[in-house]
Homo-oligomer: A and B are copies of this chain.
């Protein structure tokens, strides 16, 4: 693909040889001749002069200048342009169209046109799979589950009975949607009685869920993941949780039962949210934080328990100094005792 074609498709302003042939997209440091690279995070600005790429996607700030011999593609959001450019040069290899003869599709399941269903896939009674959806090998779709159009369900996913999945949803491998929530009532002898978990789970359109993440089913009500939300690997979403739209949830986050995560929230890796609380629209949760109480919309919280992020940072600085601070208090006690004695003697 020529640089001009790439510039046109990305809507970038090109400064450089428009006939240059580009073969792939690569990182600033790894790129060589024939490669397109990008600079989005200013943190990597000092790597820009040394790149060996043939072209670089940049923002509009002319202070960010490519080295001699490297063309520039300028636009408002270089990261979005990079995301699209990657798609020009790479593509997966989905299983062949059609339903593999080594699958087990129930007689009364509805399978849409132009699907790909791999080997050892089970599609249960009354389940439905939409048009053009790709199901990789060894996936289990339970009885009555529904999957929309243009979805990609990778190997080893379990979509349990009755789960509803929208259009253009991507499940990475090993995702489990609709496993039983962790609900028990403890009797007078301390035995834990299972509360049957048979209510609804809804995954809305354009959601992506990472490898081995688990989304549980509640006893009553529903568990819901809103449209456009993206969830990373090994995340736990408990029964009855409601996640809004365009939420970003990084790896190994845990969200306890019946919590509400509003639209546009961002949760960093290994953080957790208590049950029955609310994280307000657009709020951010720092890495490894434990959110024990509801969070206001737009807030940024960190720590265990989670508090205002800036307050946490400042308190963390003093935390390191605690042994010294304690010593200073001890010295003060010494000095004040001496003063008191002196004063008593005068």
Contact = CB atoms under 8 A, between A and B. Distances in A.
Interface of A: 25-27, 30, 43, 76-77, 79-80, 82-84, 86-87, 90-93, 100, 102, 104, 118-120, 122, 124-125, 136-138, 140, 142-144, 154-156, 158, 160-161, 170, 172-174, 176, 179-180, 182-188, 190-196, 198-199, 208, 210-212, 214, 216, 219-221, 228, 230, 232-234, 236, 238, 246, 248, 250-252, 254, 256, 264, 269-270, 272, 274, 276, 287-288, 290, 292, 303-305, 307, 311, 314-323, 325-326, 328-329, 332-333, 335-336, 339-340, 342-343, 346
Contacts of A250: 182, 256
A161 B138 CA distance: 15
Instruction: Please tell me how many copies of the chain the complex holds.
Output: 3
Which 3 pairs show the lowest CB-CB distances between chains A and B?
A90-B198, A318-B322, A179-B211
Contact of A272 (B87, B184, B208, B288): B288
B212 A30 contact: no
A179 to B, nearest CB: 4
Nearest to A219: B86
B214 A212 contact: yes
A22 B292 CA distance: 36
B256 A269 contact: yes
